[in-house]
C-alpha cells in the first residue's frame, strides 16, 4: 500500500539491463531523487514523494540490481559511468531538459557529477551526506580486510565478502542499525533491510568489484565540486557512520553552497526526519 501511486511508469532498455522509473505529480520544476546505492531502491524516498509531488514533478528510478530494474551480470555493469548514463536517460525519457537533483550518499555524488558535466541541465543539487572521498574514510569502514575469511564476524568485521555470502540479512541488520543511530528508528531499519534483500549478496559483491568510483580521490572529487555552477544545498548528519561528516562542509565550501547540519542525525535523515528534510527540499527547490 502506497501513500501515492505514480502518474506514469516506464522501463528503459539500457542494453544488458532494463531500468525502471516512476513519475509523480505534474508541477514544475522536475525533481529527480537519485538512489543512494544499489543496496536499496526507490522506495527509500517514500517519505519525500507524496509531499514534494504536491508542488513539483518528482521522478525516481530503481538502480540496476534492485527493485523493478534488472539485475546486472558483471561488475562492469555497475560502473559509475553506466549509472550516470542511466540517470540522464531517465530524464530524457520523461522529457526533462532541466531538473533539480537530490541524492543521498553515492546518489549525492552522482548529482554533483551530473551538475559538473552538464551545467545547462541541472537547476540545483541537494546533496545529503555526500559520497565523495574528500576526506579519509571513517576508521571503522576500513579497519578490516574485506576479502579475508575470519573464524567469527563481529561489528564492522561483517563488512566482509565471505560473511555477505554466509548471512547477508545479518549484515544488513547490522549495517542499517549503524545507519540509523537515532532512537525509535525500528521501522526505518526494517524497511531498509527488506529493500536490501532485493539486491542480496551477489549483486552487492558485483558492485563492490565494479570499476573504481569516479569520486574516489581527493583531487577528482574536488574537481567535481569546483565545476558545479548551480545552487547547492548540503545536508549532513552529525552522527553519520557511513560517510565522514566532514565531507558535507567541504562540498558546501567548494560549491559555494548552503550547509545544514542536523545534530544527532545519521546517514539517512530523509527517512528518519522527513518533515525537516522535506521542508528544506521544498524551500530550496522553490529558490532555484
Other beta carbons less than 10 A from residue 154's beta carbon: 9
pLDDT confidence of residue 1: 64
Strands (E), 62-140: 99-104, 122-128
How large a percentage of the chain has pLDDT more than 70?
Answer: 100
**Three-class DSSP category at 103:** strand
Determine the Cα–Cα distance for residues 156 and 133; give it in Å rounded to an integer: 20
pLDDT tens-digit map of 168-222: 999 999 999 999 999 999 999 999 999 999 999 999 999 999 998 878 889 999 9
- CA dihedral of 105, 276, 48, 14, whole degrees rounded to 10: -20
pLDDT tens-digit map of 90-127: 999 999 999 999 999 999 999 999 999 999 999 999 99
Determine the Cα–Cα distance for residues 31 and 48; give it in Å rounded to an integer: 11
Structural contact between residues 19 and 90, judged by C-beta atoms closer than 8 angstroms: yes
> pTM of the full predicted structure?
0.97
Over residues 5-21, mean pLDDT: 96
Q: How confident is the model at residue 2 (pLDDT cuts 50, 70, 90)?
A: confident
Structural contact between residues 15 and 81, judged by C-beta atoms closer than 8 angstroms: no
pLDDT tens-digit map of 154-172: 999 999 999 999 999 999 9
At residue 128, what are phi and psi to the nearest 5 degrees?
-100, 120
Angle at 236 between CA 212 and CA 187, to 5 degrees: 90
At residue 239, what are phi and psi to the nearest 5 degrees?
-110, 25
Amino acid at each position: 500500500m502506497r501513500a501515492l501511486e505514480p502518474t506514469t511508469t516506464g522501463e528503459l532498455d539500457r542494453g544488458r539491463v532494463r531500468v525502471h522509473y516512476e513519475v509523480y505529480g505534474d508541477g514544475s520544476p522536475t525533481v529527480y531523487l537519485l538512489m543512494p546505492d544499489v543496496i536499496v531502491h526507490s522506495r527509500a524516498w517514500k517519505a519525500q514523494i507524496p509531499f514534494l509531488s504536491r508542488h513539483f514533478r518528482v521522478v525516481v528510478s530503481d538502480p540496476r540490481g534492485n527493485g523493478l530494474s534488472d539485475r546486472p551480470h558483471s561488475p562492469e555493469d555497475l560502473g559509475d559511468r553506466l549509472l550516470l548514463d542511466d540517470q540522464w536517460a531517465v530524464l530524457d525519457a520523461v522529457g526533462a531538459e532541466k531538473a533539480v537533483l537530490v541524492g543521498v550518499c553515492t546518489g549525492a555524488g552522482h548529482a554533483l557529477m551530473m551538475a559538473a558535466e552538464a551545467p545547462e541541465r541541472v537547476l540545483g543539487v541537494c546533496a545529503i551526506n555526500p559520497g565523495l572521498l574528500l576526506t579519509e574514510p571513517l576508521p571503522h569502514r576500513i579497519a578490516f580486510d574485506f576479502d579475508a575469511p575470519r573464524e567469527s564476524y563481529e561489528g564492522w568485521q561483517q563488512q566482509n565478502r565471505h560473511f555477505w555470502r554466509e548471512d547477508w540479512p545479518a549484515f544488513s541488520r547490522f549495517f542499517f542499525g549503524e545507519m540509523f543511530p537515532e532512537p525509535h528508528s525500528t521501522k526505518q531499519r526494517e524497511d531498509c533491510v527488506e529493500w536490501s534483500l532485493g539486491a542480496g549478496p551477489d549483486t552487492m559483491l558485483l558492485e563492490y568489484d565494479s570499476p573504481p568510483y569516479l569520486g574516489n580521490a581527493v583531487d577528482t572529487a574536488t574537481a567535481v565540486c569546483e565545476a558545479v555552477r548551480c545552487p547547492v544545498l548540503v545536508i549532513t548528519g552529525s552522527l553519520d557512520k557511513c560517510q565522514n561528516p566532514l565531507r558535507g562542509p567541504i562540498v558546501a565550501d567548494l560549491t559555494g553552497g548552503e550547509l545544514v547540519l542536523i545534530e544527532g542525525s545519521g546517514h539517512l535523515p530523509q527517512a528518519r526526519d522527513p518533515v525537516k528534510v522535506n521542508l528544506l527540499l521544498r524551500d530550496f527547490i522553490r529558490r532555484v
